[in-house]
A and B are shown apart, each in its own frame.
Chain A
C-alpha cells in the first residue's frame, strides 16, 4: 500500500542552526513528493515538490529537500532556522496513476527557539 511516514512528531532546533524534517515514502512506480507547511489557524501552504530531474529541490522561504530514491526519503532542510519557521510540516506523495490523489504524512511540528 502507498504510504508516507514522518517519524518525528516534533523537532526542536535553535535559531540559526540547520534544521531537518524527515519523510520516507512507499509507493509503486515513480513518486511525486511534496512538502506543505501549516501555520496556526491557517490552511496548508505549498512549500516545494519533486517531480523529476535534480534530486535537490529548492522551495519557498529558503527551504529545500533532497530526493533519495535508494532510501525512499524526501527530507526537508534549511541551512539556518528562524523562529518564524515554527509550524506544522506535512510531507505528501502522489504518483502517476488515474486517481492523482495525495497521501499525507501525520505531520511534524517544528519548534525553533530563540
Chain B
C-alpha cells in the first residue's frame, strides 16, 4: 500500500460547489502539507500542519481551508470552487526538521467548470 494516499484522484465540479480533498498517510509523520501545481508555476504551498493542533497558512491559502482530523489525516476544502482553482493538488508529509525530504501523494486532478 502507498504511504501517502489521496482521494479522489480526479474530480470535476461546478463553480460554487464545496469540494473536499482527503489525504491519509501511514508514515507516522507529524508534518503534512497541501500544494497545488500549475503548469509553469511549480508547486505552491496552500496550507501546512506541524501536528494535530497546529495549522498554518501557506502562500496561496485564500479560498481554501483545511482540517487535521488526526496525525494521519489532513483534508483540504474548497468552500465555493471557482475555475481558477482548476489544478493538480498534492498532499505531502515529512518528519521533523527542515533537512528531511517530503513524501508526496499521487495527486488529485481537480477541474472546476
Contact = CB atoms under 8 A, between A and B. Distances in A.
Which secondary structure dominates where chain B touches chain A?
Answer: strand
Contacts of A25: none
Interface residues of B, number: 26
A96 B96 CA distance: 11
Listed residue (A32, A42, A101, A105) with the most chain B CB atoms within 10 angstroms of its CB: A101
Most A CB contacts (10 A, CB to CB) among B31, B42, B90 go to B42
Nearest to A6: B42
Given A43-B105, A46-B103, A100-B31, A107 B42 contact: yes
Q: Which of B40, B56, B99 has the most CB of A within 10 A?
A: B99
Nearest to A35: B101
The size class of the interface chain A forms with chain B is 20 to 34
Given A34-B101, A43-B107, A101 B42 contact: no
26 contacts: A41-B106, A41-B107, A42-B107, A43-B90, A43-B104, A43-B105, A43-B106, A43-B107, A44-B92, A46-B101, A49-B99, A51-B99, A90-B43, A94-B98, A96-B98, A99-B56, A100-B31, A100-B94, A100-B97, A100-B98, A101-B45, A101-B48, A101-B98, A104-B44, A106-B40, A106-B41
Given A43-B107, A102-B102, 17 more contacts: A32-B98, A34-B101, A42-B106, A43-B104, A44-B92, A44-B102, A45-B104, A49-B99, A51-B99, A90-B43, A94-B98, A95-B98, A96-B98, A97-B98, A100-B96, A106-B40, A107-B42
